[in-house]
Amino acid sequence: MKLVRTAWKILVGIKDLLVLILLLLFFSVLFAALSHRPTPATIRDGALVVALNGTLVDQPSEADPLSGLSGARAAREVSARDVIRALDAAKGDARVKAVVLDLDSFMGGYPATVSEVAAAVGRVRAAGKPVLAYATAYTDSGYQIAANASEIWVHPMGGSIFMGPGGRQLYYKGLVDKLGVNVHVYKVGKFKSAVEPYIRADMSPEAREASTALYSGLLDQWREGIQKARPKARIAEFLMKPDVAITAARGDIAAANRAYGLVDQLGDRIAFGAHVARMVGTPSGARAGNFNTIKLADWLQAHPLPTSGDPIGVITIAGDIVDGKGGAGSAGGDTVAKLVLDGLKDGKLKALVVRVDSPGGSAMASEQMRQAILQAKAQKLPIVVSMGGLAASGGYWVSTAGDVIFAEPNTITGSIGIFGIIPTFENSLAKIGVTTDGVQSTPLTGQPSIYGGTNATVDTILQSAIEAGYGRFVGLVAASRKLTPQRVDEIAQGRVWIGGVARQIGLVDRFGGLDDAIAEAAKRAGLDPAKVRPVYLAKKPNATAAAIAAALSSFGDDEEDDGNWATTAAGKDSYARIADERRVLLAQALGDARRLTQAGSVQARCLECMALGVPGARDADLALLQLVMGAAK
């Protein structure tokens, strides 16, 4: 027995030692991550690598410190604001010998957001700095950015085909009827199509009209932007007759891309890396295909935001607008309102810029945020709205607080209309022999009942409330845009507009990005735009949580993000990207079901915005799909 006890003590001691070693390793990595603060002196000559690994967004979600423990990688989000800042800083810095755009894992972004990054790439190229783009297969958004580069490379076994905006939308009327679910819809606006998937089996004529105009406008702007950046590319021919181009190249998509002038060179990552190395040099002892690299994170930390100058507040409203506090990827009414009021309380801000990048959501939360923003006007501060990729429905509701509205020509906006949905399951229960009965003391007793349905009294009240809410929305727009309510009603009705048309009909004042909005806010405050600085009214990022997430997700990674270009994981070809899109379609179905059952207030939401194929807009749905698929195994 003594021998057994001794052996047991030895095993426990070994276990404790291993735990201690693992903890020491973990906290060493964590300490290194927290203490790493690059300075300009640590930046060496080389190529600035801008790896767009994920979705371009206006405001990335906060990292989940425990996401790395599951073994699955969360969809990444890349701050477009950071990318643009990095590119603008690089164009005049002699240490940056070239800029490399790694688009192998790029998942897209809303058109206006992508356009802003593409324009920043164009500025670097115009300054005489070489810009080289690489991907195994470019998405539509990825190619829009790459077209502004000096050289475009594609993998010889990859190649790109372009889809254009639009596509098929899921409709659940048949399924809803089979399940016996009774979907009660209360809405205003003949173009307010967000409710159609639950009450129709196909697209309404009004929705088809609006979507056709929207997607045609976006496609025209995409094609024109590429033609301007790359005049010799036969993009229109390849876009409309890709089968002719690819069969002429005997099925070689990459060769067809080159024949039509869409790309300059075919090569794998090693060949591309060797080409860049001849321009910027190679680290001592590096593997073939690597080159002197400047990491984007290091470059950004070496070029922080300005800390001097008159402060201009910038509040960002990004993602779904929800009641209460906003979690990752959403704009909570309570959260945003508190950030605005906290930013205004010390009286130091000279103006307020409202950056909107949202498809809408809760009308109540939208109004809550608008009221908080109006407190800046009560302090005599100018309010300038800057619309990003989209500012529709609730996003436009918030925008009515501004003195002037900036947007990009391909910003998606409008969708002025509201709706409410209540599903009831009395028919579903009847199918399995369950019925309901009871006594009502008033017409509204127990109404609306999810297992007994609604009655005419509650239907009338709810529809009347929706109509009153729409009237309020129209009134806000009329007062803000100096239009008559009748005119606003004509251009409202839930219709979505592209930025260029929105400016023509009076919903937008000027074209421009966030920097233009900040400059305008400075002028309205009587300040020199060159002597102001943006102060972002945002929840301070949890540096510890971010470092833990990075440390946990790095376990098991061999070469990723270590500066070895040639050994970075290869991207996906066109077939793999198409498969990803099918996965997103399945995730959309789960997300639609979730929205039907969880929407808890009057909604001002845009359906067309959700159909633009931006993966980052459906991260929660993708996570739900992974959970369901995992449970089915």
Give the catalytic positions in this structure: 192, 393
CB-CB contact of 466 with 187 (8 Å):
yes
Of 355, 617, 396, the residue nearest 512 (C-alpha) = 355
Number of other residues whose CB lies within 10 A of the CB of residue 77? 23
Please answer whether residues 91 and 127 qualify as being in contact, where contact means their C-beta atoms are separated by less than 8 angstroms: yes
Q: Helices (DSSP H) in 249-393: which residue ranges? A: 253-259, 269-280, 296-302, 333-344, 363-378
Is beta strand 320-322 parallel, antiparallel or unpaired with respect to 496-498?
A: unpaired
Q: Nearest-5° angle of CA 304, CA 614, CA 151? A: 65
The bridge status of strand 106-108 relative to strand 54-57 is: parallel
Q: Which of 270, 287, 300 minimizes the C-alpha distance to 155?
A: 270
Q: Which of 558, 580, 582 is nearest to 571 (CA)?
A: 580
Q: What are phi and psi of 535, to 5 degrees?
A: -115, 110
Distance in angstroms (rounded) separating the CA atoms of residues 496 and 218: 12
Assess contact for 571 and 333: CB atoms under 8 A: no
Distance separating alpha carbons of residues 514 and 388, to the nearest angstrom: 8
CB 101 within 8 A of CB 52: yes
Q: Which value, to the nearest 10 degrees, does the dihedral of the CA atoms of residues 198, 470, 334, 354 take?
A: 110
Environment class of residue 231 by beta-carbon count within 10 Å: exposed (0-12), middle (13-18) or buried (19+)? exposed
Tokens representing residue 617 in the block:
């807009």
Task: Spell out where 59-127 has E strands.
Answer: 77-79, 96-102, 106-108
For the chain, the 3-state helix, strand and coil shares in percent, each to the nearest 5, are: 50, 15, 35
Q: Which helix (H) or strand (E) holds 317?
A: strand 310-318
